[in-house]
Amino acid sequence: MANTVDMVEVWRGDLLESVHRGHAVVCDDTGQIVDAWGDPAAVIYPRSSCKMIQALPLVESGAAAGLSDEQLALACASHNGAAIHTTRVNAWLAELGLTDDDFRCGPQMPDDRTAREALICSHESPCQVHNNCSGKHAGFLTLNKHLQGGPDYEVIDHPVQQAIKAAFEDVTQQTSPTYGIDGCSAPNHACTVHGLGRAMAFFASAHDRSDTRSAAATKLINAMMTYPALVAGEGRACTDLMRAMDHKVAVKTGAEGVFIAIIPEKRLGVALKIADGATRASESAMAAILVKLGVLDPAHPAAIARMSPPITNRRDKVTGAIRPAAALL
């Protein structure tokens, strides 16, 4: 990945031990770049950072009529598989008259410790509902029922996925050059870092417009900001940062070092990609950008924990620190 810049440093003692490089953009409500690091034209997979885009057809089609904001937050989630997530997704499936077998996301051991230990102690295997993407897939199933599509809603030529591709290309304002298959089996369409930032700015300024897609975008990000624990879970960066910003900013992480932010009050969208895919770096870089934009208090514990966390050894002694590179500060 060419033309990256230093974004996050890892120090041990007084020696710079490692550096994470990457790209990032901040876009305004016209889609123009107002700040950038690295190469805005770098082509990436957004991974799970774009789940609110994937949920647009669910809402704008009318398929989401009757769904709660909690369900919409889950449609945008990469959750921990905790009881607050799986109970709600199972209830959603029941409302659809479907079961875990109708999912196409695959089983996943939950990241939530309580849920994971319960499965282990009962000698049970995880179900598909434990998959961090099960809320998104419940949204897919809801849209699929509305469209009267076939059961394999995850394949690229299915009406559900074709509707998502059309929405993705519309809000990024780019023809996607390719797609990959995500960990949950759904297609993930590539775009540039600028395209992803432009899409987030579309969401951030959606409340200024009255068209169907913008209304859907507003509804989705409001659900995310209202229910951050459903978007991720306790102890997760997305949940902690949204709470720290008083539920006024939506943030969403993705695999392989991708992170986005949607800032409605400033009508700004942010997208970043860490070249080596490190989550510790994407969290630090995103927290630094949010501080730079004036929407995250640098003294808030959630900001400190993500932007400049100390490195400790096995005796809990501080041995170093992770911190944003000078370019971000």
Residue ranges of the chain with per-residue pLDDT less than 70: none
Q: What is the CATH number of the domain that holds 270?
A: 3.40.710
Task: Output the CA–CA distances (angstroms, integers) from residue 106 to 128, 131, 183, in the order listed.
Answer: 5, 7, 9
Tokens of 138: 């419940």
Please report the pLDDT score of residue 102 as a whole number.
98
Of 168, 180, 110, 106, residue with least CA distance to 137: 106
Task: Output the CA–CA distances (angstroms, integers) from residue 6 to 18, 195, 328, in the order listed.
Answer: 10, 21, 9
Q: Which helix (H) or strand (E) holds 324?
A: strand 318-324
Angle of CA points 89, 95, 96, to nearest 5°: 95
How many domains is the chain built from? 1
How far is 142 from 197, CA to CA, in rounded Å? 28
Please report the pLDDT score of residue 262 as a whole number.
98
Q: What amino acid occupies position 22? A: G
CB 226 within 8 A of CB 218: no
274-324 pLDDT, tens digit per residue, is 999 999 999 999 999 999 999 999 999 999 999 999 999 999 999 999 999
Of 329, 171, 139, 178, residue with least CA distance to 260: 171
What is the extent of the structural domain holding 32? 5-328
DSSP 309: P
How far is 184 from 115, CA to CA, in rounded Å? 20
How far is 305 from 241, CA to CA, in rounded Å? 10
CB 63 within 8 A of CB 145: yes
